[in-house]
Amino acid sequence: MKALRKLFDNIKPYVEEGGKFHAFRSLVDGFETFAFVPNQTSRVGSVNIHDAIDSKRIMSFVVIALIPALLFGMYNVGYQNALAAGTLESSSFWGMFWYGFLAVLPKILVSYIVGLGIEFVVAQWKNEEIQEGYLVSGIIIPMIVPVTLPLWMLALAVAFSVIFAKEIFGGTGMNIFNPALIARAFLFFSYPAAMTGDNSVWVSQSTIFGTGYDVVAPDALSGATPLGQAARDGFAGFDSSTIHDAIIGLIPGSIGETSIIAIAIGAVILLWTGIASWKTMLSVFVGGAATGYLLQLLGLTEIQWYEHLVLGGFAFGAVFMATDPVTSCRTECGKYIYGLLIGFVAVLVRVLNPGYPEGMMLAILLMNLFASLIDYCFVQRNISMRAKRATK
């Protein structure tokens, strides 16, 4: 670490104002603050309390929490491909994981290269430090898209998201909508054929590395998710094996959204470190379960309430996107209302609009729009209550 510290100290004179490589100041600053806790404090006149957990460290914890779902998603890509090719028994665990790793890695690279590239350029142009918010969005976006999505589509969606969902509002901390979901929405409405519309898993043409020999998989096989099948069949209930596979994650779906166990590990990390709000997270599940149970009582669906919670992107959205501290509610009471409404809208869309059986993306984006209003109402309520107590 001392050598790295010395390296940054030697480079900084060249990138400061008037330096030979001033155009790269924001780039160097971004890497330095990622590697080390900044030694600068606020220059405002009021009293400030400082600790070692800055926003970059918070984003790093979120990325760590996402790793279990990402790793399992890589394995599931290889598993689904082997299943489609009929070579499941002859394919090894590491062979299937390696296949998925090679399929997913280009998407992660494109996401970070395009997204961070835009943020570096904007930061240098505005003479500001690199904003850290894309550390999380850059890994979430590849996890919520099809594995066979063309890289140029992904690059276009990332650029649209960073420019129009973040930078146009002022950057990280100022955006109204979750950037990762904006990228998915852009792809869903601009290229519905590539997204399939039912959150399918996409088995691509490749070779599966098994136990000493290679097996060529189908060129391009699309398999509908359980939610997609349920929508076509009038949302009939699922059997126990489907729910079992959904909890483990061995079902068709977006790269990082299939395994409830992997998502739960991420949830524990976020809650244990205090990064995410348990109030928001719990409320999403309660709202979804209550809505699913009510709609079943009304005879509008045969799907059980708990099935909504483990299928599709419901759990992933509740843990990693509904809890986004920038676009969600910040008042303690507001977090309950915000989460409940997300769960309510997501299940409502799933049941009443079978043409789009997922629902979680639209639910979170809709509530992003109303998060500030919910906070405002609770703040004004508290002000009024305190004013009444002060006049007594």
Kindly report which listed range (38-52, 133-147, 272-286) carries the lowest average pLDDT score.
Answer: 38-52
The pLDDT value given to residue 36:
61
> Is residue 144 a contact partner of residue 254, using CB atoms and an 8 Å limit?
yes
Is 211 strand, coil or helix? coil
Mean pLDDT along residues 114-127: 84
> For residue 263, is pLDDT > 70?
yes
Average pLDDT over all residues of the chain: 82
- pLDDT of 60 reads 84
**What confidence tier does 49 reach under pLDDT thresholds 50, 70, 90?**
low
pLDDT for 134 equals 83
Q: In which element (H, E) is residue 291 found? A: helix 278-297
Under the banding of pLDDT at 50, 70 and 90, the label for residue 39 is low
Give the whole-angstrom CA distance, residue 134 versus residue 362: 21
How many CA atoms lie less than 13 Å away from 91 in the CB half-sphere? 29
Long-range contacts of 116-124, Cβ-Cβ distance < 8 Å, separation of 24 or more: 118/159, 118/162, 118/163, 118/167, 119/162, 119/167, 120/26, 120/27, 120/30, 122/167, 122/171, 123/26, 123/30, 124/23, 124/24, 124/25, 124/26, 124/27
Distance separating alpha carbons of residues 102 and 105, to the nearest angstrom: 5
Q: Give strand pairing partners of 203.
A: 221
pLDDT tens string 223-260: 556 565 555 555 555 566 678 888 998 988 889 999 99
Cα 332 versus chain centre, distance: 23
pLDDT for 208 equals: 40
- Quick one: pLDDT band at residue 198, thresholds 50, 70, 90? very low
Stretch 165-175: mean pLDDT, rounded?
84
The pTM assigned to this predicted structure is 0.82
Provide the terminal-to-terminal Cα distance of the chain, rounded to the nearest Å: 60
Give me the count of residues in the chain: 392
| pLDDT tops 60 at residue 210 | no
- Which one-letter DSSP state was computed for residue 130? P
**CA gap 213, 392 in Å, rounded:** 83
- Cα distances from 255 to residues 79, 118, 292, 312, in angstroms, run 12, 25, 25, 11
For 59, the token pair is: 């984003």
